[in-house]
Amino acid sequence: MAGPGVKIRVKVIPNAPRAEVVGWRGEALTIKLTAPPLEGRANRELCGFLAGVLGVSPADVTLLRGESARHKLVHIAGLSAAEARARLKLHLC
């Protein structure tokens, strides 16, 4: 089970020309990824991309739900919801 940190609902758009944070749509964060949704590639890219954007270790990003869906739930260890939102705001396109 996930420890202290923040859970973020994410909508993933795979096969995009570049990886980017699109923005919040309701309670879900929309993220474009370059990887296709095959063999877990988009999930791996999502975790690595979020780690880079949020300034945390890739080991701090865990996919909790939605392994084969576009709508996912991720856990970011070591950040509060306010910290995560502030860091994501810097990367909105």
pLDDT tens for each residue of 20-61: 999 999 999 999 999 999 999 999 999 999 999 999 999 999
Fold of the domain built from segment(s) 5-89: Conserved Hypothetical Protein Mth637; Chain: A; (3.30.1200)
- Write down the domain spans for the chain: 5-89
The pLDDT, as a whole number, for residue 91 is 84
**Residue position matching structure tokens 């909105």:** 92
End-to-end alpha carbon distance in the chain: 32
> Model pTM?
0.91
Is the Cα torsion angle 6, 11, 14, 18 positive or negative in sign? Answer: negative
Residue 75 banded pLDDT, cuts 50, 70, 90: very high
